[in-house]
Structure formats: C-alpha cells, structure tokens
Amino acid sequence: MHQSKEIEKTFKFNEKDKETVKYSLNRFSVAPMLDWTDRHCRYFHRLLSQQTLLYTEMVTTGAIIHGKGDYLAYSEEEHPIALQLGGSDPQALAHCAKIAQERGYDEINLNVGCPSDRVQNGRFGACLMGEAELVADCVKAMQDVVNVPVTVKTRIGIDEQDSYQFLCDFIDTVVRRSGCNIFTIHARKAWLSGLSPKENREIPPLDYPRVYQLKKDFPQLTIAINGGVKSLEEAKQHLQHVDGIMIGREAYQNPSILAQVDHELFDASMPVVDTVAVVKALYPYIEQELSKGTYLGHITRHILGIFQGIPGARQWRRHLSENAHKSGADISVVEQALAMVTERM
C-alpha cells in the first residue's frame, strides 16, 4: 500500500460523523449526473468533503428489478449517500426503495426533473410534473415501506405549464397526498420536446426568485435549490433564502470546490482539505479496484479536474488521459501525474 493507515483513517466517514450530519443532509449536495456520479466518483468526492450529501446516477426501477448487474453497489465510505430512482409505478418504486434501505442508503430521491426523450418514453422524469397525483402516489408508496427520507427533485415547470401557480399546485398536491417534506428544485423549467438534455440545462432561463418564493410560501418544507451554481459564495447567498444547495457540473469539473465545503458551509473550525493529500488517500482504493479488474481510467476520469487553475494541472490531465487507458496501467500512472503538480508547488 502507498498510503499509511493514519492518513487513510483521516478520510473515513465513521458512524459518529454520520449521526452528526443527519440533521443537515440536504444543506449541500452533489447532483445526480448520468455517467458521472458513479461509485468511483462518489468515493473520490467523499474524500474531499465529509458533510456533502452524494447522489447516485439516476437508476431506473427496471434496471434494479430486471437488470443483471448490481446497480446499487457503493462503498461504505460514501455515506451519507442518496439513491435517485427513475420510475412512475408506485409498486415498483416501493420495491426498489425497500431494497435500497436494506442496502443502507440514507435517502431515496424520485427524479421528476430529467427531460430526455428516453426518460419520457419510460414515463418518468420531468414529464411527471404534469401528473402531480401520480408523483404523490409514488412517494407515498415508498414512504410506506422505508423509514429513511423520501425526497423529490423537480423543475419549476414544463413546457407552457410554467406559471408560479402551477409549481405551487404541484408541490401542494405532492405534500398533501404523500407527506413529502424535502424538495430539490432545479430553477429552470424543462422543455419536453425540441431541446436536448444539455440544452435543457442551459437555455431555459434560471429563476432563483421563484424558488425563494416557494420557500416563503411553504416554510414548513425543506427546499434546496439547483441550477447554475458555480461557487460557494453563490451557495452562501442562496442559503439566505433556501435550506440547501445542490451543485452539479461545477462540482464534477472543478472538484476542488468540495475541499472547501465543510469549512465554508458547515463548521469553520474544520480545515480546508489538501487536494494532494486526497489524491494520495485515493491510492488504496485504486489498488483495491485494480485487483478486482477495474480499469484505471474508469477511476481517473473523475479526478482530472482536481487541480484546475494550479501550475501543473494541464500536465496532470494530459498524463492521466494519455496513459490511464493503456493495458496494465497501474497506480504508478497517478503517482507520475501527481509529481508533475507537486514539483511545481
């Protein structure tokens, strides 16, 4: 092993820590992102922040019930971790939620925000905003079989149904019929046709004041805001109006932002995490995964942006990109890449 047990232990999320963050699980989170927030990514993100709530990629009920792989695999170190489910069949969602709780997930989240055609064809994602009673039934079915929080991630509207009243009616229906009290609101509406998922993250304008108003009108609910947040300073401004922040692409492309989260948003006495130490703390995990047959590139693709803006970052990214995919690539590839950064510090 390249990492001492002492340093490795520093980055463990223990049971005491888990109890500490229960009351604030949704204060700061990394968004579920398809093809990005897999288990390797989440393990890495956990080394950067102990307090951040981490989400899986969206997993469909069909994949869990009928798929051949283990779509719920994760490392214990990833806690607190939320599973985002995609589906619209209350019975199937309840079945999957129960399995997820048995597997130890800390929260179950229902996707009511993804606008892709594939998701719509499965009758889940953002199109469910037009079926508030069904969403409520889905949430209620899951709540009836688990005792971890069941939450909803949604948009502020869909297509021409984008008035504030529509959003309030949707939230009110879900709350009254299911008792759900935690919502993450992506502060853009979704166009269900005509825009790609990428365009749906960029073209519909952000409307943060609408989410702020939602919190004022539903003060009893925990409301987190999502969409376009690129810094912790922005996050602090939002936290003056809502209960939580969810950051997506910025946290993935510039993960060093997570190294500051615990200090800036939770406890000022906690140190800002050393990103070089985090990379070294990842070595045992990498070696363990390599021994199981995992390709190095499947892990290192998630850490390319960790030194963004630091001398040597370009060489770090290039070395990993050019060598991690090669046959037999091992931990030495990461060590060599890291040296290109540390020798310039």
Please report, in range form, the residues annotated as the binding site for FMN. Answer: 32-34, 84, 153, 186, 226-228, 248-249
Written as six digits, the tokens of 26 are 């949704």
How many Å apart are CA 338 and CA 189, to the nearest integer?
41
CA distances from 301 to 44, 186, 252, 320 (A): 11, 26, 10, 8
Cross-strand pairs, 150: 108
Written as six digits, the tokens of 98 are 């129960």
- Give the residue among 207, 224, 316, 308 at the shortest CA–CA distance from 265: 224
How many Å apart are CA 41 and CA 77, to the nearest integer?
12
- Beta strand 28-30 pairing with 150-154: unpaired
* 3-state SS string for 165-203: HHHHHHHHHHHHHHCCCEEEEECCCECCCCCCHHHHCCC
Tell me the torsion sign for CA atoms 146, 119, 247, 73: positive
- The one catalytic residue in 96, 114, 138, 180 is 114
Helices (H) and strands (E) in the chain, counts: 18, 8
Binding-site annotation, residues: 32-34, 84, 153, 186, 226-228, 248-249
96 is known as an active-site residue? no
CA distances from 23 to 18, 28, 147, 243 (A): 10, 12, 15, 12
Which residues are catalytic, by number?
114
